[in-house]
Amino acid sequence: MGIFDKAKDLAGENTDKINDAVDQGADAIDEKTGGKYGDQIDQGSDFAKDKAGEFLGSDNQDAGQQEGQ
């Protein structure tokens, strides 16, 4: 098992933490831009979470549909 396989396995076990990190980053960017680009930031964070779910093979498709989004 290569290092990338190990990293993928670890990330797959922690998708909730990955989603939280994406949300924190999106919130920080939204705050720095004064909410001016909020819709685009939300769209980008949803896209990132969906793609991470596809890459990791997890059911992360509804990650963008969580409360507060």
pLDDT of residue 27: 98
pLDDT tens, residue by residue, 32-66:
999 999 999 999 999 999 998 888 775 544 544 54
pLDDT of residue 67: 44
Single pTM value for the model: 0.68
Q: What are the φ and ψ backbone dihedral angles of 29, each rounded to 5 degrees?
A: -65, -40
Residue 38's alpha-carbon distances to 10, 34, 49, 57, in angstroms, are 31, 8, 16, 28
Residue 63, both tokens: 């990650």
* Model confidence band, residue 6 (pLDDT cutoffs 50, 70, 90): confident
